[in-house]
A and B are shown apart, each in its own frame.
Chain A
Amino acid sequence: MNSKPTFPLISVVMPVHNTEEQVANAAQSVLAQTYENLELICIVNDSSDSSEEILLELSANDSRLVVISNGKGAAGAGPARNQGVALAKGEFISFVDDDDYVEADFLSRLYKTLIEHNVDMVQCAIRYIFKTKSKNKSYGSGIIRGEQVSVRIDMSDGFARLYPMVCGKLYKKELFDDIEMKAMTFEDIEFTPRLLERVESAFILDEQLYNYNKRYSTVTGWGELKRSQISEYLDSIFQTLPPYYTESACAIRAKYGLKPPTTVFANINNFTRGLNRVIFQKSPEFQSEFKLKYVDFVRRVEDLLSEEDWQFFSSNLVEPLVLRKDFWIQKKAPTRFFLKRITAAKSKLAKAFSSKIYVRWLEPYLYWVDFIFPKSPNIWLFSSWAYYPQHTLDNPRGIFEAVKDDPNIKKIVAVHGKFDENILIKDGNNVVFVPVVSFRSLYYILRAGVFFTGNALSPKFGYRNMMKHPKRRKLVQLWHAITLKKIGLTLDHNLELYWHDDANRYALITSTSDLDRQTMIESFSPKRPDAVVVTGVPRHDLLHMPEEKLPVDYREQIVNLRARKGSKKLFLYAPTWRGPLDDKSEFTIPQLEKLDALFESYNALFGQRIHLNNRKTTKRGFFTNNVLDLNSFPETTLLLREVDGLITDYSSIYFDIMQRDKPVVLYQPDIESYEYTRGLAYKSGSFRPHEETIDSFEKLYAMLEMALSGNFEPDQKYKDVKSKFMTFCDDKNALRVIAAMRKSKP
């Protein structure tokens, strides 16, 4: 792209301090931009090497480079940047550090995006460069508008977020009126939240255009720390904290369910990690001084923060080496090689003594034990999902709620994933929680007479080898969805190999209607159709239950959700799971902008929830005052109680919300390809609760407008679909399942 005079001037500010080896590379990378209408302002501060001469040499060939020297003793990067901004003539400002370099299309990409989306600032992704390797760091992608801009700094949720460095961004010049960076060490980290309070919208571009050289960095990288500066660093880190904990920032975080940014503790952790043994050993008087200073720092932070924030901060704080008990046992500092050896040996020892390894070793051989081990009909096992410790699957949870107070039945919940005693459900009688990978869990799997699950067993630890003797225990399959897509035996056998094996084990399979029963027979039990019974699914009980009867954790979450949404209407967008190579039919940014305006005009909220399996791969984010991120809620069933409508593509949770007669929109722009690649159990028209297929965004928009404006009344098609797929509409499903289970023969 050749920039014509119509393109506005962009000022790039570069503070320079003793970097004669890298500064030419940095400056040239800016001057070689494809966006040519720029000025590069280099402020040379306190330089004792030839970096100034190198820049002057470059400026002789290029008039766009302005070099300003402040001589010896001038203050650090913050004041230099202030000076650069004051001198800048451009409409836009960007910062580049003197030891980094930018891509050739850095400015042109950022500028184009800024104009296209009409935002105040744009941020690109960063490539971190170390001595021998590099790492691409993505900060999500998407747009942040409104009050969330100032708090979405370094969030750990994986969606679009800002980083606290000032580099790698393009700003409108007017943002910098009457605001200055301080003369301190972590000046940009202190500065960014203050600046972001003025920013109304920011775009996060997921393209790596800024190369951050960690190999030369003193503060954040592996450069050598100066001992004399250590107490100054501690003070600077402390000064960075208050802008993140202003009253308004805390209030906004509470409103959108956000945690404080990782920045607040990352700096102190990086700093204490950077201090090495040698520094302490060389100067013994410094050790005690550092200890005192560090403890003082931590106390000051404790005073500054509220109790909740302090807990978050302290739980992420890494103990400095010098404060550890074993630090002084070794007299001589071991070399890096020996440190590695010691840590490797330690972890090997820890592995050898952890029981997990033996559990995993033992598990395959229990197949034979399962033949002879006595079963108790009064021990019921409930399987959980791996994502949330306190979360049993929706359907087993429905059964669990029905029998939790029965002292005669021992209820075991086998928890996948992280096991934390503190956040388990505390009510019920005769309930035991066990992590799946443990001897106890294996014992209960062997002992349980009844087992409730919601998904396939063959790939899961513990169940894959046991539970293979259907005559010895009752295994109830409460499939986690009402079948819409092809599952089980109707799938291509090469895709999921284990279904033949799995289907033979079930004593009872639930279904919701006669039509659903036929599909379930085809999918799970073609040889024994009697095993499939029309009972309804237990999770629907939780939809119909009066609020005061709901379990404690559900009620807590409802209070939380209501506080967040206020009196506004809330529509939930929850698309189904997509494989890593499938097309993801996400909304584009302009479409989201339109939706945002629509919800704004009707004073409603647009809640987004991404399928659990897709959370790690989804980066796209869209945050405005009208968008609620509902990913932190473990229970979908609970959300469906509270929301006023649902937009989905092929997720069968829309059947659940139809139990409450709420509006549903099936947005299926890729219905043909999805039907071909994934496969549906029914014809595409027969399960849709509205007359028309919504295959374009315009149709969706019109439909939503209708749903938002008037009161929703279920039409004939809606009622037909509901009665066709769901026979029961009450809170007795769990009891029916239990009755059917007692009747069923293993």
Chain B
Amino acid sequence: MSVHVLIYTHHWTVGGIEKVIHNITQGLESRGYTFSILTNDVPSPERQFRLGKNARVYFRDFKPFDVTNAERMKSLILRINPDIAVVMGSNRSNLWVPRALAGTPVPVIMSEHNTQILVAKNFINPEIYRAARAIVDFNHVLLPNYMSTFSPPSKTRVIGNPFNSNINVEQKIDLSTRENTVLCLARYDYIQKQPQVLVKAFAEIVSRHPDWKLSLFGGNWKRGQNNIQALVKRLNLEGQVEVNDHTDDVIGEMQKAKILAFPSAYEGFPLVAVDALASGLPVVAFSECEGVNHLVRNGENGVLVHGDVKDYKAFANGLEQLMLDEDFRLQLAENAPASVADYSHDIFLDNWDSLFKEAYAKKGRNILANPNAIERHYLELLFDYRMEDISTKELSLAREAERAKKYANAREWVPLFVRKFLNVFSPGHGLKRIAKKLLGVR
């Protein structure tokens, strides 16, 4: 069996979704799949994954996604002639492929790669967001607790991302020989990754633990690294906190540390946390952080800190609990690898393989080719949704008509300052307010 899979992703650089695509194409090519990638992005030659020889990348621009561009996309996809189409991402471009493929026998899998809050935010219109999810054949999410917003659950599949295949899960880990180090691996992003919360938390407890060290690794993000350095200097932590650049040897750094601190505010699928747990490192994280709270279980493989995601004092307590109690730490480290055994590379590939097979079996009987009444309603909604469809000419005509209507109203001809002035004399409104202001009455 040879199945041709088309994967659409809006961006094409070295990011999370691209890594998943890289893993899938590398792993499944030997199982009889061929892949085509379609992206709207402009790539830099040096910042992209090299895929297998049978995976071809199409760089096409479909912006703005209007009627003509939808037709263009449809004709291109039909020419590529895939058996299945997969949409990966978490923004509005997710609905482009399902919309372009209406009436065709190609089943569509919509794969969302972020927390539900963020996806909903990117979509703007919640009804359209529901419609796009309803007319695809399968929905894919990264974690089971994201499934609650999907209906029906029968067509939703959960496949997490795999941890690093270089990590040996069977290996015995001895934390006691390591230095007292708390590790944090995240880009210096104040909004999502919150390194500042960790540094402040560490400052709270540092006086009681002079033998402990905090080491941070990550890429600079909107001058976040410089700000963190300044913060460390201000709190006089220079001796005990290292602010490092991005590292490629993630596993090596994990093997040097005793605790992984993970103070993120929100996460789609925290690959660093999974990697750490797989290599036997207990994790400290916020229980409010969607994504992490499913993987890290309090007292079992890590510590979940209750409270607001900005509460550094609570985070300090959680951190200190692990730092003080060595037995507790060793017990967590022992449990950790087994707790993420479901996220191995082979299981990841098997899951995607079976999802592709399920979708392939639906070819020709897919929703977009023969929708039922409810799905047809959603489809119509999607087609009526003309956010980007209206051409500039039409818009200007509409604006012109609106203005004509506006000027038909005589009130509009009275200049604004005159109206405001007249408002002052309107009974019970202007004068009263002025009087109150003058007298200072609230």
Chain A interface residues (CB < 8 Å from chain B):
21-22, 24-25, 32, 34, 101, 103-105, 127, 129, 133-134, 136, 207-208, 211, 364-365, 367-368, 458-459, 464-465, 496-498, 501, 579-581, 613, 616-617
Contact = CB atoms under 8 A, between A and B. Distances in A.
A368 B61 contact: no
Interface string B34-67: 0010000010011000000100111111000001
B407 interface: yes
Contacts of A365: 413
A211 B44 CA distance: 12
A455 to B, nearest CB: 13
Contacts of A105: 58, 79-80
A459 B397 contact: yes
Nearest to A104: B56
Contact of B60 (A25, A103, A459, A465): A103
Contact of B404 (A21, A134, A458): A458
6 contacts: A22-B45, A103-B58, A105-B58, A364-B407, A579-B394, A580-B393
Contacts of A364: 407, 412-413
Contacts of B53: 32
A690 B275 CA distance: 79
Contacts, number: 65
Contacts of A133: 42
Contacts of B404: 458-459, 464, 497-498
Contact of A104 (B45, B57, B389, B397): B57
Interface in B365-413: 389, 391, 393-394, 397, 400-401, 404-405, 407-408, 412-413
Contact of B61 (A136, A459, A617): A136
A501 B408 contact: yes
Nearest to B397: A459
A34 B56 contact: yes
Contacts of B42: 129, 133-134, 211
Given A21-B46, A364-B412, A134 B67 contact: no
A101 B394 CA distance: 36
B245 to A, nearest CB: 22
Contact of A496 (B80, B401, B412): B401
A103 B80 CA distance: 12
Given A368-B413, A458-B404, A459-B401, A134 B61 contact: yes
A129 B12 CA distance: 14
Interface of B: 36, 42, 45-46, 53, 56-61, 67, 72, 79-80, 389, 391, 393-394, 397, 400-401, 404-405, 407-408, 412-413
Q: Which of B45, B405, B413 has the most CB of A within 10 A?
A: B45
Contact of B401 (A207, A497, A581): A497
Contact of A208 (B60, B67, B397, B412): B60
A103 B407 contact: no
A484 B16 CA distance: 59
A32 B389 contact: no
A367 B401 contact: no
A25 B394 contact: no
A32 B394 CA distance: 42
A497 B42 CA distance: 43
A279 to B, nearest CB: 28
Contacts of A32: 53, 56-57
Given A134-B42, A458-B404, A464-B407, 19 more contacts: A24-B45, A101-B59, A103-B59, A105-B79, A127-B59, A133-B42, A207-B72, A364-B407, A364-B412, A367-B407, A368-B413, A459-B397, A464-B404, A497-B404, A498-B404, A501-B408, A579-B394, A580-B391, A617-B391
Contacts of A129: 42
